[in-house]
């Protein structure tokens, strides 16, 4: 009988890092939602969530987006940062407004700015500006570096006891994606009609050397942070299969971290969810088995 409840929330990016956690948290709260996914096969885990309705679609296929938006009042908007993310998201906003959506919760990034030297921060700012220009209610979630990004190094940490980046000795208030999702949930279910822009950070700012130290303590083995040059990082990213645009964007992103521009600590998680954000130690303890 639960099928009779029409969801009014649409999640995009539901197979990704934040979206999958958002789906789980909505299901835990018994809030029905629709998820637009490119592949039902990839979205298998979502099928088991109570109240989840899966629709296949792609931001590149307008008809599929229009179908997914039918009857929807609130949207969680997220794609990965690709060269066409800006146009895909702006087109999506047009379709959402036309279809009568009332509130867009957009996953943006900490320090999003039209004049930033970081391409990801510029495109997020352009999409934010686009959303504002439509007059629709909005929430912009601007999280800092994800703790879960370290999972990309899980094997290197497990088998070689090391990970690398170009962050230098800069402090970064990195944040757990579960806390970002928790803020998104609150904004998707709120009756508050005000527009909001939220910086989302963890409870502390730590360096990559301190990350290595915490990993070492929890895993009972020495894990090293290797600070590499931009050229070394770019070569490694290309070797891992990252498209050139994205690899260059990540180098710019890390230069921004290395300049110490991402050390601010925001109260958003506590203010919006009532719970303090997780510390990096909590993250490592929860994901310990993956790091070996
Ligand atoms: N990583 C960080 O530290 C960090 C920090 C701050 C902000 N951010 C922002 O966070 C966002 C990425 O979040 P995430 O890590 O949760 O993403 P993710 O894990 O990379 O997942 C991206 C999601 O977008 C979906 N998607 C991509 N292209 C699509 C399309 N054309 N049509 C429909 N769906 C599409 C993917 O579907 P498939 O499964 O089908 O591919 C997937 O569900 C980016 O905007 C980034 O700038 C990241």
Task: Identify the DSSP state of 206.
Answer: B
pTM of the shown model: 0.97
Q: Are 14 and 37 in contact (CB under 8 A)?
A: yes
Position in ligand 1 atom list of the atom nearest CA 38: 40
CA of 77 to the centre of ligand 1 (A): 10
Q: Are 244 and 108 in contact (CB under 8 A)?
A: no
Close Cβ partners of 44 (under 8 Å, ≥ 6 residues apart): none
CA of 217 to the centre of ligand 1 (A): 31
Average pLDDT over all residues of the chain:
96
- Tokens 């997914």 correspond to 68
- Residue of 102, 120, 100 whose CA lies nearest to 110: 120
Other Cβ atoms less than 10 A from the Cβ of 174: the count is 26
Position in ligand 1 atom list of the atom nearest CA 13: 43
Position in ligand 1 atom list of the atom nearest CA 79: 24
Residues touching ligand 1 (Cβ under 6 Å) are 12-19, 38-39, 42, 58-60, 78-81, 88, 107, 109, 120, 143, 145-146, 149
pLDDT by residue (tens digit) across 3-59?
456 899 999 999 999 999 999 999 999 999 999 999 999 999 999 998 999 999 999
Mutation pick for ligand 1 pocket among 24, 80, 95 (CB with most ligand atoms within 8 Å):
80
pLDDT by residue (tens digit) across 145-196?
999 999 999 999 999 999 999 999 999 999 999 999 999 999 999 999 899 9
- pLDDT for 1 equals 40
Position in ligand 1 atom list of the atom nearest CA 39: 40
pLDDT by residue (tens digit) across 191-244?
998 999 999 999 999 999 999 999 999 999 999 999 999 999 999 999 999 999
- pLDDT for 6 equals 83
CA R_g for the chain: 19
Nearest Cα residue to atom 23 of ligand 1:
13
- pLDDT for 86 equals 98
- pLDDT for 101 equals 98
Read off the pLDDT of each residue in 265-273 and give the average, rounded to a whole number: 98
- pLDDT for 279 equals 98
User: How many residues are there in the chain?
Assistant: 292
pLDDT band at 292 (very low <50, low <70, confident <90, very high): confident
pLDDT at 250 over 90: yes
- pLDDT for 2 equals 44
- Residue of 150, 251, 266, 275 whose CA lies nearest to 210: 150
pLDDT at 128 over 80: yes
d(C-alpha 164, C-alpha 156), whole Å: 9
d(C-alpha 120, C-alpha 268), whole Å: 22
Q: Are 66 and 100 in contact (CB under 8 A)?
A: no
Task: Identify the DSSP state of 19.
Answer: H
- pLDDT for 156 equals 95
């Amino acid at each position: 009988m639960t099928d009779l409840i029409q969801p009014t929330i649409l999640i995009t990016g539901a197979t990704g890092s934040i979206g999958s956690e958002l789906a789980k948290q909505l299901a835990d709260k018994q809030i029905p939602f629709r998820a637009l996914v490119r592949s039902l096969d990839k979205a298998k885990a979502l099928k088991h969530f109570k109240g989840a309705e899966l629709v296949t679609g792609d931001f590149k296929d307008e008809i599929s987006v229009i179908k997914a938006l039918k009857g929807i009042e609130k949207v969680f908007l997220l794609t990965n940062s690709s060269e066409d993310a800006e146009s895909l998201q702006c087109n999506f906003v047009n379709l959402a407004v036309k279809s009568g959506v009332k509130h867009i919760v957009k996953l943006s990034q900490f320090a999003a700015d039209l004049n930033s030297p970081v391409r990801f921060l510029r495109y997020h700012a352009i999409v934010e500006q686009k959303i504002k220009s439509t007059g629709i209610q909005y929430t912009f979630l601007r999280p800092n570096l994800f703790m879960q990004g370290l999972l990309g190094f899980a094997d290197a940490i497990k088998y070689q006891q090391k990970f690398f980046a170009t962050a230098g000795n800069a402090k970064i208030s990195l944040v757990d994606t579960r806390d970002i999702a928790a803020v998104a949930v609150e904004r998707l279910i709120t009756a508050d009609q005000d527009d909001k822009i939220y910086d989302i950070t963890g409870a502390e700012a730590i360096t990559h050397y301190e990350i290595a130290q915490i990993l070492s303590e929890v895993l009972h083995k020495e894990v090293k942070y290797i600070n590499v040059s931009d050229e070394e990082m770019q070569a490694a990213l290309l070797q891992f299969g990252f498209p050139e645009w994205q690899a260059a964007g990540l180098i710019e992103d890390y230069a921004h971290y290395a300049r110490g521009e991402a050390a601010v600590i925001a109260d958003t998680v506590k203010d919006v969810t009532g719970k303090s954000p997780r510390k990096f130690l909590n993250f490592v303890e929860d994901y310990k088995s993956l790091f070996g």
